[in-house]
Amino acid sequence: MSRAIRPILLLLIGGIAFVGSASLFIVDERQKALVVQFGQIQRTIDKPGLYFKWPVIEELVYVEDRLLFLESKDKSVQVVDGRRYLVDAIIVLRIVDPQKFRETVQANLARAGDRIETRLDAALRQTYGKRTFEAALSKDRGVMMDEIRDQVKSEAQNLGIDIIDVRILRTDLMPDVLKDTYERMSAERFAEAAQLRAIGDAQRRRIRAEAEREAVEMIAKATRTSEITRGEADAERNKTFADAYQRDPEFFAFYRSMKAYPRSLNGSDTTLVLTPDSEFFRYLKASQDTKNAPRQ
């Protein structure tokens, strides 16, 4: 091969390599591709593989074919009672029509996100505005997310995007509303505590009154029983004394006198003023007379 042909051959090989690299392209399973010529979409490639395009005059626009997540934070919404809340939401979407996506937002995901987020704001305000805060946090939460998704879906379809799902991540009171709510809840708890204390105090007074009444009844019953028992005992004692008196009146009189002496002289400061011939000392004198009598 002559030296003059070798540079031409190298140039030809380089040109073929350049044309090949500029003409062949790969589309993987994570994306779709648009072949654009002078700003006009010539064809859409939605299957992975190796493809050919005209170099220089045709260009490629790649579009994501995966699930995408659009997060929207601190959206201000108002519920039925007028209180305002901050909501965080996330949108799960997918680009299903690359050509429409290119024609409407120039295949710019950030621009599409702005338009979808604007519609999301309106959907959040409309959906929350029909409900109370308690409903938004409990039974209606799933229904609300479905309503918001359906409202955002119509806007997204105009961009060639399908809204798969909308999730509410957070619903919080705004700082001023949070303070008012805390004070209201605190007042409600204090009122509830006062009511419980009043109920407990009423029950305490009722139980104490019942206990005092039962105590009075029990004491009265015990007193009556004791009086009956004491009366029966006194009757039995008197009967015993009467029987003893009938059997030996003199001994009974002596016994009664002997019992009276310690009772009368009980204590160190007891003073009796009696005459020497008092009947009280009759049996003592009789005993003394017996002792002084001459023995036979």
Q: When comparing pLDDT for 61 and 266, which is higher? A: 61
88 or 6, higher pLDDT: 88
Instruction: Give the least confident one: 16-20, 67-71, 99-103, 245-249.
Output: 16-20
In this model, does residue 66 exceed pLDDT 80?
Answer: yes
* Residue 274 Cα distances to 58, 241, 249, angstroms: 153, 27, 25
The answer to pTM > 0.95 is no
Domain check: are 49 and 75 in the same one?
no
Instruction: Give the other-Cβ count within 10 Å of 144's Cβ.
Output: 20
The answer to whether position 211 is within a domain reads yes
State the Cα–Cα distance between residues 44 and 97, nearest whole angstrom: 9
59 and 109 fall within a common domain: no
Q: Is there a domain that residue 205 lies in?
A: yes
Q: Distance from CA of residue 96 to its chain's centroid?
A: 44
Q: Percentage of residues in the chain with pLDDT exceeding 70?
A: 78
| Residues 143, 206 within the same domain | no
Q: For residue 199, what pLDDT is reported?
A: 92
Q: What is the DSSP letter of 39?
A: T
Q: How many CB atoms lie within 10 A of CB 115?
A: 16
In this predicted structure, the answer to whether residue 165 has a pLDDT above a threshold of 90 is yes
Q: Is the pLDDT of residue 290 over 60?
A: no
pLDDT tens figures, 115-144: 999 999 999 999 988 888 777 677 778 888
Residues 56 and 116 in one domain: no
For 76, the domain range is 68-173
Which residues, in sequence order, are CB contacts of 103 under 8 Å at separation 6+?
41
pLDDT band, residue 209 (cuts 50/70/90): very high
Q: Is the pLDDT of residue 156 over 50?
A: yes
Are the C-beta atoms of 167 and 148 separated by less than 8 Å? no
- Cβ atoms within 10 Å of 179's Cβ, excluding its own: 11
* pLDDT band per the 50, 70, 90 thresholds, residue 291: very low
Residue 275 included in any domain: no
The pLDDT value given to residue 232: 87
Q: Mean pLDDT, to the nearest integer, of 65-77?
A: 91
Last residue of a domain, one of 15, 39, 64: 64
Same domain, 163 and 79: yes
Mean pLDDT computed over every residue of the chain: 81
98 and 111 belong to one structural domain: yes
Number of domains in the chain: 3
Q: Is residue 295 part of a domain?
A: no
Q: Say how far apart CA 277 and CA 261 lie, in whole Å.
A: 16
Phi/psi class of residue 64: alpha, beta or left (left: φ > 0; alpha: ψ in -120 to 50)?
beta
The predicted structure's pLDDT at residue 296: 46
Looking at the structure, tell me whether residues 23 and 120 fall in a common domain: no
